[in-house]
Amino acid sequence: MLNGMIIDAEDNVGVAIESIKKGEVIRYVNGNKKIDEIEAIEDLQIYHKFAIYDIAKDQPIIKYGQHIGHAARPIMKGEHVHVHNVKSVREDLQHRGE
């Protein structure tokens, strides 16, 4: 049974579709349309994000194919991804469309 999901093949975080306890297996359909499994290294609340692979500090966080911030520190595969390890990055609107 699936308990996680990603929307876009470029995503580096998934979303828990039920509560998941540390040590449980997260199962989701990956960008290649195959079921992938990783271990949760922290408890995850329903609808919270988890890293689907290791994410380096300052690397963009991509959810639903969109950049939603940058890693504030290295984030490990299976780790909870939330405000404690993601920093906001403002878009440069002044130069948009040039």
Q: pLDDT tens digits, residue range 42-73?
A: 999 999 999 999 999 999 999 999 999 999 99
Task: Answer whether residue 95 shows pLDDT above 90.
Answer: no
> What residue segments make up the domains of the chain, in order of their start?
4-93
* Percent of the chain scoring above 70 in pLDDT: 91
Contacts of 42 (CB under 8 A, 6+ apart): 22, 78, 79, 80
Residues 30 and 17 sit within 8 Å (Cβ to Cβ):
no
Query: Is it the case that residue 94 has pLDDT exceeding 80?
Result: no
From CA 67, how far away is CA 75, in angstroms rounded?
A: 16
pLDDT band at 28 (very low <50, low <70, confident <90, very high): very high
Query: Under CATH, which number does the domain 4-93 receive?
Result: 2.30.130.110
Please, are residues 4 and 14 in contact by the beta-carbon 8 Å criterion? yes
